[in-house]
Structure 1
Amino acid sequence: MADESVPEPAAVPEPAVNYANFSNDIYLNGLLTEQTPALTTDLHALADTARARMSPAAYGYVAGGAGSGRTMAANLESLERRRIVPRMLRDVGTRSLARTVLGTPMPAPVLLAPIGVQSIIHPQGELAVARAAAELGVPVVHSTASSYDMEEVAEAAGDGPRWYQLYWPKDDDVCISLLERAARAGYTALVVTLDTWLLGWRPTDLDRAYLPFLQRIGIANYLSDPAFRAGLAKPVEEAPLDAVVHWAGMFADPTKTWQRLSFLRDHWSGPIVLKGIQHPDDARRARDSGMDGVVVSNHGGRQLDGAIGSLEALAPVVEAVGDETSVLFDSGVRTGSDVLKALALGAEAVLLGRPYVYGLGAGGQAGVSHVLRCLLAELDLSLALSGHRDVDELGPELLSGP
């Protein structure tokens, strides 16, 4: 009897970049030049290299989490519990990772997550990251909390795809101005972070009394904004501390509710994605509010201690809204096989966070490029070794575990 679990053969994917060849390049270079990679290819271990090259405060800011770190641990544990069940004797000689998400063509369903204050990690910060991402066509999600303003980052990205992440300010005029600037600078989708109306309890930063924003690091988008500057009694250059106080007064707004989403729709014409969704009911609220997508995320464990691992929330959210709303995923992703697992559970794309920041800390733009090449190569290899040739073939049957 035929194995009824084997799917009908899919059309052969269009020829695409063979990311797996990166490993062959490394081996060949070692043979010809006896050189090994400048940075480790183990993206888990890359954090140690970055730590040695970053200040203790900067490393703590990136690597630390909320409370005792239980949510960060849960993110990794939830990915570890799900195991890949590979299938054999399938033609995987030609593969495609390409996918279009919310109107953005991507060479692989991977984006760089919005991470702020990157100049504490490397002087070029977001500029280096944008250039590295553009080299590979990987979309970058620019954070409102950037060390460089959105126009500078857009220039660094060139023709590379880019989305804009909004920390929704209390001041509506500033919000409108930020959105208008992002649209003019070529950011095509809006990612609204919902889980950071207040900063979480972060002992690593608290013990050092370290908050970069108070040193005017990570507020470049505000300081360059005409609506923000219009609210200052004196120019930023004359009264920098007053500007920081003005920023602090509008950053946090825990009074925002679902009813306010119509404001964003009125002032942004492209896709809108809500980041921080963990409950299916919230995903349904996002759909019913006319949002185009959600990111299943717990902010990498940096906000609420003791929360569920993000991967645990993914399948229920996909089941609730997946046919009507794009579902993306982040938190805990470290490897190409992690990406594969999230795609198998229904994520349309995955946002990569800490690993590319560690690449930035370890090697600047070249370090970010190295991380992306490693991740995409492992994703390509994992796709093939699991018995698939296109990311669109992946489904929950690929995985075992609770």
Structure 2
Amino acid sequence: MPDAGLSRQSTIYRAGTLGRRPVVPADFAELERRARKVSSAEAWAYVAGGAGEGRTMRRNREAFDRWAIVPRMAAGAVDRDLSAELLGTRLPSPLLLAPVGAGALMGRDSDLAIAAGAAATGTPYIFSNQGCNPMEECAAAMGDTPRWFQLYWSSDERLVDSLIRRAEAIGAGALVVTLDTTVLGWRPQDLNLGSLPFAKGLGIAQYTSDPVFREIAAERARQPRERPKVTPGAIRALIAMSRNHPGPFWANLRSPAPRASVETFLDIYSNPGLSWEHLATLRRRTSLPVVLKGILDPEDARRAFDLGVDAIVVSNHGGRQVDNAVASLDALTAIRAELGPEPTLLFDSGIRTGADVFTALALGADAVLLGRPHLYGFALAGAHGVAEVIRNVIAELDLTMALAGTRTIADITRQTLTETPR
């Protein structure tokens, strides 16, 4: 995308002369502030919250502050090439949209809107296993734009295979297995509200659209069960489940299927016993490139590549799983130093701006995943808001490259940074 930064600036400034200001702010702080203003307390707790005291979230950002970009003058970097090769596919930029579960907390049909916004910019989107729209619908919304699929390893192996088959059928470019959420972390913001979106049927669309899961849930619905005590809260929960379940609302309200689906999901969505032995079976279960997400330790990274995976995502889940965990950027630096230049490393957790993307690339990432910011854009302006956030991040990356004297992504190396005093 040549001159992405200058073109973006020109578009915004020209509109400004006509009295039109951007719906989506150009800086993250204002983007976050406005998104919070339009979000419910439950939505904000889930999307913006972190584990424990929030130390991992803060540490993710502090890690970026320990590095500074060193601009180089008179480099003549007039034409920049932001494209990047990733798992055999040439992408317009080294940016992908991270999977974010239960996005419908911020607005209906969240995954469809995010898919459309990603497609508008040619940016790959990793469909969330905890999404609110089936992967087939999201794939249709993306057209030819690359899409990957995130897999949470269920405790039911039949369901694992079914989800993999569906990912293959939609033309996913990779299978991204999330390792760090075999159990939910301690998330006080959600706990203080007693709010878990999945318990109301939000974020389980990949399951309720899956034939194997429906068989499991239907069997559960046929089993005798104790009727819940009728309270206003129970009625509200049943209404939410019925509204979020596929099919007509009034039929769902009279059916055991919505509650059975929620209870089945909560029982089997993840496997607390996930092991390297499970992961070793992936090569015979799929022909898709395999990416392991949630790696923070160099030894785990080496073991992953020894298994034959195609890439890893260095990530602490945006600080949402373990409080006081290592910053993802520090883990990236350590893993790249340990494994050398060859393995494909993606980076996630803490990316907010184009300058952040530049820093992560300089420290060894081959590409980065953008999480909360694109969901904030969705909250403000739907698919258009997602696309605007992407355009802003890429524009800043392009301008940073120009001012740092780098023409290509390959030119962004450790030599473009300096470590700042602690």
Considering the TM-score relative to the shorter chain, is it more than 0.5?
yes
Q: Which residue of 2 aligns with 1:351?
A: 369
After superposition, the C-alpha distances for 1:230-268 in whole angstroms (9 at most, x for unaligned) are: 113248853221221111111232211112112222112
Query: What are the within-5 Å matches in structure 2 for residues 296-335 of structure 1?
Result: 296-335=314-353
> Which amino acid letter does the alignment assign opposite residue 55 of structure 1?
S
After superposing on structure 2, the runs of 4+ consecutive aligned residues of structure 1 that deviate more than 4 Å are: none
Per-residue CA deviation, residues 175-229 of structure 1 (Å, 9 max, x unaligned), is 1000001110111101111100000000000000100101111001111111111
Q: Tell me whether 1:157 sits opposite 2:154 in the alignment.
A: no
In terms of mean alpha carbon deviation, does 201-210 or 310-319 score higher? 310-319
> How far, CA to CA, are the matches of 1:61 and 1:273 in structure 2?
25
Q: Distance in 2 between matches of 1:112 and 1:64?
A: 19
Structure 1 CA distance for aligned equivalents of residues 28 and 274 of structure 2: 37
Contact 1:109–1:350 (Cα < 8 Å) also in 2: yes
**Aligned counterpart for 2:301 among listed residues 283, 287, 290:** 283
Higher alpha-carbon deviation: 389-398 or 251-260: 251-260
- Partner secondary structure for residue 54 of structure 1: coil
Give the direction of change, closer, same or farther, for the CA distance of 1:176–1:322 in structure 2 (3 Å limit).
farther
For 2:158, give the aligned amino acid. Answer: D
Cα 1:153/1:107, change in 2 over 3 Å:
same
Q: How does 1:31-70 map to 2 (within 5 A)?
A: 31=17, 33-70=18-55
C-alpha distance in structure 2 between counterparts of 1:39 and 1:394, whole Å: 28
Whether the 8 Å contact between 2:362 and 2:414 is mirrored in structure 1 is yes
2:285 to 267, 272, 284: 267
- In the other structure, the counterpart of 1:182 is 167
Report 1:214-225 matches (<5 A): 214-225=199-210
Partner of 1:376: 394
Cα distance in 1 for partners of 2:3, 2:201 equals: 41
Q: 63, 74, 81: which is aligned to 2:66? A: 81
* Aligned twin of 2:79: 94
Query: What do residues 47-83 of structure 1 show as CA deviations (whole Å, max 9, x unaligned)?
Result: 1101111111101111100000000000000011111
> Which shifted more, 120-129 or 22-31?
22-31
Separation of aligned partners in 2, 1:293 and 1:324: 10
The farther-off stretch of 339-348 and 247-256 is 247-256
Deviation at 1:152, TM superposition (A): 0.9
CA deviation after TM superposition for structure 1 residue 38, in Å: 1.9
Single out whichever of 198-207 and 324-333 deviates more from structure 2. Answer: 324-333
Q: Deviations over 1:74-122 (max 9, x none)?
A: 0000011111011111011000100110123210000000101111111
Q: Aligned partners of 1:43, 1:151: CA distance in 2, in Å?
A: 31
- How far is 1:17 from its partner? 5.6
Q: Which position in structure 2 is the counterpart of 1:8?
A: none
Distance 1:244 1:42 in 2: 38
State the partner residue of 2:16. Answer: 30
Give a deviation string over 1:9-63, Cα, whole Å, max 9, x none. Answer: xxxxxx83634310121112222x1222122111232011011111111011111
Task: Indicate the residue corresponding to 1:202 in structure 2.
Answer: 187
CA contact (8 A) 1:287 1:324 kept: no
Structure 2 contact 32–373 (Cα < 8 Å) conserved: yes
Contact 2:109–2:132 (Cα < 8 Å) also in 1? no
Return the letter of the residue paired with 2:362: A
Instruction: Please state if 1:135 is matched with 2:120.
Output: yes
State the shift of 1:305 in Å.
0.1
Tell me the distance in 2 between the aligned counterparts of 1:105 and 1:217. 34
Q: Secondary structure at the match of 1:210?
A: coil
Displacement of 1:126 = 0.6
Unaligned runs of 5+ in 2: 223-244, 246-251
Separation in 2, partners of 1:323, 1:93: 28
More helix by share: 2
One of 94, 101, 113 as aligned partner of 2:98: 113
Q: Which residue matches 1:251?
A: 269
Cross-structure match for 1:10? none
Report the aligned-residue RMSD. Answer: 1.4
Aligned to 2:382: 364
Distance 1:333 1:276 in 2: 15
Decide which of 138, 146, 149 is 2:131's aligned counterpart. Answer: 146
Given the alignment, which residue of 389, 394, 397 partners 2:407? 389
Contact 2:126/2:147 (8 A) holds in 1: yes
* SS in structure 1 of the partner of residue 312 of structure 2: strand
User: 1:20 touches 1:378 (CA, 8 Å); kept in 2?
Assistant: no
Identity %: 45
When the two structures are superposed, what TM-score results if normalisation uses the length of structure 1? 0.94
Determine the C-alpha separation between the residues in 2 that align with 1:17 and 1:261.
42
Shift of 1:319: 2.4
Residue matched to 1:122: 107
Q: Is the 8 A contact 1:20 1:376 kept in 2?
A: no
